[in-house]
Protein backbone atom coordinates (compact mmCIF):
# COMPACT_ATOMS: atom_id res chain seq x y z
CA UNK A 1 0.00 0.00 0.00
CA UNK A 2 2.76 2.46 0.92
CA UNK A 3 4.52 1.77 -2.39
CA UNK A 4 1.29 2.27 -4.35
CA UNK A 5 0.66 5.56 -2.55
CA UNK A 6 4.14 6.83 -3.23
CA UNK A 7 3.59 6.12 -6.94
CA UNK A 8 0.27 8.02 -7.06
CA UNK A 9 2.02 11.03 -8.57
CA UNK A 10 -1.18 12.28 -10.22
CA UNK A 11 -2.83 12.46 -6.83
CA UNK A 12 -6.05 10.70 -7.72
CA UNK A 13 -6.57 9.33 -4.22
CA UNK A 14 -8.60 11.78 -2.13
CA UNK A 15 -9.93 9.51 0.64
CA UNK A 16 -8.23 6.62 2.41
CA UNK A 17 -9.98 4.48 5.01
CA UNK A 18 -7.52 2.00 6.48
CA UNK A 19 -9.31 1.57 9.82
CA UNK A 20 -8.85 -1.62 11.87
CA UNK A 21 -6.08 -3.10 9.76
CA UNK A 22 -3.52 -3.79 12.49
CA UNK A 23 -0.98 -1.28 11.19
CA UNK A 24 0.84 -0.90 14.51
CA UNK A 25 3.65 1.67 14.69
CA UNK A 26 5.66 0.05 11.88
CA UNK A 27 2.75 0.23 9.44
CA UNK A 28 2.02 3.78 10.52
CA UNK A 29 5.61 4.72 9.74
CA UNK A 30 5.39 3.32 6.20
CA UNK A 31 1.94 4.73 5.50
CA UNK A 32 2.63 8.19 6.90
CA UNK A 33 5.95 8.35 5.07
CA UNK A 34 4.18 7.64 1.78
CA UNK A 35 1.46 10.22 2.51
CA UNK A 36 3.75 13.02 3.68
CA UNK A 37 3.78 14.70 0.27
CA UNK A 38 0.60 13.25 -1.24
CA UNK A 39 -0.96 16.02 -3.35
CA UNK A 40 -4.69 15.25 -3.14
CA UNK A 41 -5.56 13.21 -0.05
CA UNK A 42 -8.05 15.15 2.09
CA UNK A 43 -9.52 12.39 4.29
CA UNK A 44 -7.53 9.79 6.23
CA UNK A 45 -9.07 7.24 8.59
CA UNK A 46 -6.49 5.26 10.58
CA UNK A 47 -8.66 4.48 13.59
CA UNK A 48 -8.27 1.28 15.60
CA UNK A 49 -4.82 0.31 14.31
CA UNK A 50 -2.89 0.10 17.60
CA UNK A 51 -0.24 2.58 16.44
CA UNK A 52 0.58 3.77 19.97
CA UNK A 53 2.62 6.87 20.75
CA UNK A 54 5.35 5.89 18.28
CA UNK A 55 2.82 5.74 15.44
CA UNK A 56 1.46 9.12 16.56
CA UNK A 57 4.96 10.53 16.11
CA UNK A 58 4.94 9.31 12.48
CA UNK A 59 1.45 10.78 11.96
CA UNK A 60 2.67 14.10 13.38
CA UNK A 61 5.62 14.19 10.97
CA UNK A 62 3.24 13.55 8.09
CA UNK A 63 0.91 16.35 9.20
CA UNK A 64 3.80 18.79 9.37
CA UNK A 65 4.43 18.40 5.63
CA UNK A 66 1.08 17.28 4.17
CA UNK A 67 -1.09 20.39 3.91
CA UNK A 68 -3.98 18.73 2.08
CA UNK A 69 -5.55 16.49 4.73
CA UNK A 70 -8.57 18.20 6.27
CA UNK A 71 -10.02 15.24 8.21
CA UNK A 72 -7.89 12.76 10.14
CA UNK A 73 -9.29 9.98 12.31
CA UNK A 74 -6.82 8.54 14.84
CA UNK A 75 -9.44 7.22 17.28
CA UNK A 76 -8.76 4.07 19.32
CA UNK A 77 -5.01 3.89 18.72
CA UNK A 78 -3.72 4.00 22.32
CA UNK A 79 -1.53 7.02 21.62
CA UNK A 80 -1.86 8.36 25.17
CA UNK A 81 -0.48 11.69 26.34
CA UNK A 82 2.93 10.85 24.88
CA UNK A 83 1.41 10.55 21.40
CA UNK A 84 -0.58 13.75 21.82
CA UNK A 85 2.65 15.51 22.76
CA UNK A 86 3.97 14.65 19.27
CA UNK A 87 0.78 15.79 17.53
CA UNK A 88 0.55 19.22 19.16
CA UNK A 89 3.38 20.90 17.16
CA UNK A 90 1.88 19.49 13.96
CA UNK A 91 -1.41 21.21 14.79
CA UNK A 92 0.44 24.51 15.09
CA UNK A 93 2.10 24.34 11.66
CA UNK A 94 -0.70 22.59 9.76
CA UNK A 95 -3.51 25.09 9.24
CA UNK A 96 -5.32 22.87 6.73
CA UNK A 97 -6.44 20.17 9.17
CA UNK A 98 -10.00 20.94 10.27
CA UNK A 99 -11.04 17.77 12.12
CA UNK A 100 -8.90 15.46 14.22
CA UNK A 101 -10.54 12.52 15.98
CA UNK A 102 -8.67 11.31 19.06
CA UNK A 103 -11.49 9.41 20.77
CA UNK A 104 -10.57 6.51 23.01
CA UNK A 105 -6.81 7.10 23.08
CA UNK A 106 -6.27 7.06 26.85
CA UNK A 107 -5.66 10.81 26.90
CA UNK A 108 -5.53 12.59 30.23
CA UNK A 109 -5.40 16.25 31.11
CA UNK A 110 -1.64 16.72 30.74
CA UNK A 111 -1.87 18.64 27.44
CA UNK A 112 -5.41 20.00 27.80
CA UNK A 113 -4.34 23.64 28.21
CA UNK A 114 -1.84 23.49 25.35
CA UNK A 115 -4.40 21.98 22.98
CA UNK A 116 -6.98 24.62 23.92
CA UNK A 117 -4.39 27.37 23.33
CA UNK A 118 -3.43 26.00 19.91
CA UNK A 119 -7.06 25.96 18.79
CA UNK A 120 -7.81 29.39 20.25
CA UNK A 121 -4.93 30.86 18.24
CA UNK A 122 -6.35 29.77 14.88
CA UNK A 123 -8.78 31.62 12.66
CA UNK A 124 -9.93 28.43 10.92
CA UNK A 125 -12.85 26.30 12.03
CA UNK A 126 -11.18 23.35 13.79
CA UNK A 127 -12.48 20.51 15.96
CA UNK A 128 -10.49 17.96 17.96
CA UNK A 129 -12.70 15.16 19.26
CA UNK A 130 -11.35 13.78 22.54
CA UNK A 131 -14.41 11.88 23.81
CA UNK A 132 -14.05 8.54 25.63
CA UNK A 133 -10.67 9.27 27.16
CA UNK A 134 -9.61 9.44 30.82
CA UNK A 135 -11.53 11.42 33.41
CA UNK A 136 -10.94 15.16 33.17
CA UNK A 137 -10.36 15.19 29.43
CA UNK A 138 -13.16 17.17 27.75
CA UNK A 139 -15.17 15.56 24.95
CA UNK A 140 -13.90 18.01 22.35
CA UNK A 141 -11.88 21.12 21.73
CA UNK A 142 -13.15 23.79 19.34
CA UNK A 143 -11.51 26.79 17.71
CA UNK A 144 -13.40 30.08 18.23
CA UNK A 145 -14.84 29.97 14.70
CA UNK A 146 -16.04 26.38 15.27
CA UNK A 147 -17.74 27.50 18.47
CA UNK A 148 -19.53 30.24 16.59
CA UNK A 149 -20.73 27.92 13.83
| Per-position DSSP letters for 121-133, written without gaps between them | T-SS--EEE--SS
Q: What is the pTM of this model?
A: 0.94
Strand partners, 71: 43, 99
Give the burial class of 148: count Cβ atoms within 10 A of its Cβ; 0-12 exposed, 13-18 middle, 19 or more buried: exposed
pLDDT in tens, 126-136: 999 999 999 99
pLDDT in tens, 73-99: 999 999 999 999 999 999 999 999 999
Contacts of 121 (CB under 8 A, 6+ apart): none
Distance from C-alpha of 4 to C-alpha of 7, rounded to nearest angstrom: 5
Amino acid sequence: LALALSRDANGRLQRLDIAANGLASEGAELLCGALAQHPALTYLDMQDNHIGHTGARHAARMLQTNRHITTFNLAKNSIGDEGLKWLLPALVVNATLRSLDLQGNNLGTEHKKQLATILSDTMAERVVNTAHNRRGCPDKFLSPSAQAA
